[in-house]
């Protein structure tokens, strides 16, 4: 059997939705189930997670369920351990910046959920500190690994669209208020003081999707609102939703592409997937979601005529063609973990660093600024870290 090469990973926020399911179970433990990550020079990298959280009972329970033995409620002690090479953060957003700062100061390589901080100043400071400390750093950009967006990316690289004109994104679903049906998202998402808000949550995603698949974002105009001002928390207590739950934004990209993305937790789904992007280009168009991607080429574009006096005879949706998978898509979180671990263990290239994370935070901050001021805001380039 090939030798196991252990790599200690402090996993903070492991009792949360993302920390537990996507990062611990579906990524780190899944890599172990595959027998570890094969390294170029031989051996298999073997993640050794150290579970960190605030609640001892919950940590013990997670550890027991998965046959793990290493857990602590003491972050300082975890970071002091020399056998821990990597710090990973999936805590609630408001706690992240402080913890990442401590991990960098302790000389750990850092990998983190987005947003990396709640302010641009904080995000840039983290990226600078990580560079100065010479540690490897990365931010989760999972949407890029979704089959639908991978296919969309393939279409862009293959020149399918001709000149890309516009991107229309529609994201969202109804998040229950929590009174008569339990809310399906944690209540901190609806409180600004706890790092909540749909702009802070989703604009970092939109930033890397736009930057990586299309072009850098040069300006933003956003209208942001709180449609549902009163919600009920995990214990059934009413609270004031201080954070925004919907954002209607226009992003101007390099090359004149206009991306308009609606994000809302107060919308009922009447589309095929929870997020969909329609891309229109001179040669063809596509609609991509989480899994699927459909196209319409200019040669097969029908010619609708506006006549409200006649009943519509066209079934517009049936006039699109499915883009085949042509490859296998694994869990995106796991894929990205593998890339980051290879970056740490064998110096493999890795694009999505804390600077990319900071650009995402910047877009959220500028989106909120645009909404407050009621005007278009230009995106200034951050000094340090170059877009890939």
Report in angstroms how near the CB of residue 95 gets to ligand NAD at its nearest: 4
Q: Is 242 exposed, middle or buried (0-12, 13-18, 19+ CB in 10 A)?
A: middle
What are the angstrom distances between the C-alpha of 170 and each of 145, 147, 165, 276, 288? 18, 17, 17, 5, 11
Query: Nearest Cα to 141, choosing from 219, 47, 207, 77?
Result: 207
Helix (H, G, I), strand (E, B) or coil at 387: coil
Q: Does 92 bind ligand NAD (CB under 6 A)?
A: yes
From candidates 70, 97, 125, 201, binder to ligand NAD by CB under 6 A: 201
Closest approach, Cβ 287 to ligand NAD, in A, equals 21
Show Cβ contacts of residue 109 under 8 Å, excluding neighbours closer than 6 positions.
85, 86, 87, 135, 136, 137, 344
Contacts to ligand NAD from residues 334-353, by CB under 6 A = none
Applying CB under 6 A, which part among 8-16, 176-184, 241-249, 314-322 lies near ligand NAD? 8-16
Write the binding mask 118 to 157 for ligand NAD: x where contact by CB under 6 A, - elsewhere.
----------------------x-x---------------
Q: Which of residues 71-90 bind ligand NAD (CB under 6 A)?
A: 90
Return the number of the residue (32 or 58) whose C-beta is nearest ligand NAD.
Answer: 58
92-100, 253-261, 309-317, 348-356 -> range binding ligand NAD (CB under 6 A): 92-100
Of 258 and 335, the one with the shorter C-beta distance to ligand NAD is 335
- State in angstroms the smallest separation of the CB of 143 from ligand NAD: 7
Ramachandran assignment for 385, one of left (phi > 0), alpha (psi -120 to 50 degrees), beta (any other): left
Does 98 bind ligand NAD (CB under 6 A)? Our answer is no
CA-CA distances (angstroms) from residue 146 to 2, 67, 333?
31, 30, 10
Does position 188 interact with ligand NAD (CB under 6 A)? The reply is yes
Q: Is 60 in the site for ligand NAD (CB under 6 A)?
A: no
Rounded Cα distance between 380 and 382, Å, is 6
Collapsing DSSP states into helix, strand and coil, what is residue 292? coil
Is 13 a binding residue for ligand NAD by CB under 6 A? The answer is: yes
Length, in residues, of the chain: 388
For residue 282, the minimal CB distance to ligand NAD (Å) is 33
At 103, list the tokens: 């991990």
Residues that bind ligand NAD (rule: CB under 6 A) add up to a total of: 20
How many CB atoms lie under 10 A from the CB of residue 309? 4
**Residues near ligand NAD, by CB under 6 A:** 13, 15-19, 53-54, 90-93, 95, 113-114, 140, 142, 186, 188, 201
């Amino acid at each position: 059997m090939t030798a196991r090469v252990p790599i200690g990973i402090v996993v903070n926020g492991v009792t949360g939705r993302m920390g537990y399911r996507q990062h611990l179970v579906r990524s780190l433990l899944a890599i172990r189930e595959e027998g570890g990550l094969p390294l170029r020079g031989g051996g298999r990298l073997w993640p050794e997670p150290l579970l960190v959280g605030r609640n001892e009972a919950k940590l013990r329970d997670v550890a027991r369920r998965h046959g793990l033995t290493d857990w602590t409620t003491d972050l300082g002690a975890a970071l002091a351990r020399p056998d821990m090479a990597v710090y990973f953060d999936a805590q609630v957003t408001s706690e992240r910046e402080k913890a990442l700062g401590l991990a960098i100061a302790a000389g750990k390589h850092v990998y983190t959920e987005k947003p990396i901080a709640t302010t641009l100043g904080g995000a840039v400071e983290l990226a600078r500190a990580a560079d100065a400390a010479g540690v490897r750093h990365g931010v989760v950009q999972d949407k890029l690994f979704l089959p639908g967006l991978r296919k969309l990316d393939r279409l862009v690289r293959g020149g399918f669209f001709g000149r890309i004109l516009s991107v229309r994104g529609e994201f969202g679903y109804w998040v229950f208020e929590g009174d008569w049906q339990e809310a399906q998202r944690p209540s901190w998402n609806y409180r600004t003081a706890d790092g909540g808000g749909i702009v802070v949550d989703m604009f970092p995603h939109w930033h890397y999707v736009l930057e990586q698949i299309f072009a850098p974002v040069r300006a933003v105009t956003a209208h942001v609102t709180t449609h549902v001002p009163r919600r009920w928390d995990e214990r059934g207590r009413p609270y004031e939703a201080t954070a925004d739950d919907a954002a209607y934004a226009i992003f101007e990209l390099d090359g004149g592409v206009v991306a308009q993305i609606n994000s809302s937790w107060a919308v009922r789904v009447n589309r095929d997937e929870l997020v969909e992007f329609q891309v229109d280009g001179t040669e063809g168009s596509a609609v991509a979601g989480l899994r699927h991607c459909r196209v319409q080429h200019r040669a097969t574009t029908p010619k609708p005529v506006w006549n409200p006096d006649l009943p519509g005879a066209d079934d517009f949706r049936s006039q699109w063609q499915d883009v085949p998978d042509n490859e296998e898509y694994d869990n995106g979180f796991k894929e990205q973990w593998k890339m980051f671990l290879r970056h740490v263990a064998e110096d493999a290239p890795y694009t999505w660093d804390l600077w990319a994370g900071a650009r995402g935070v910047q877009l959220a901050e500028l989106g909120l600024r645009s909404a407050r001021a009621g005007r278009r805001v230009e995106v200034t380039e951050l000094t340090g870290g170059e877009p890939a």
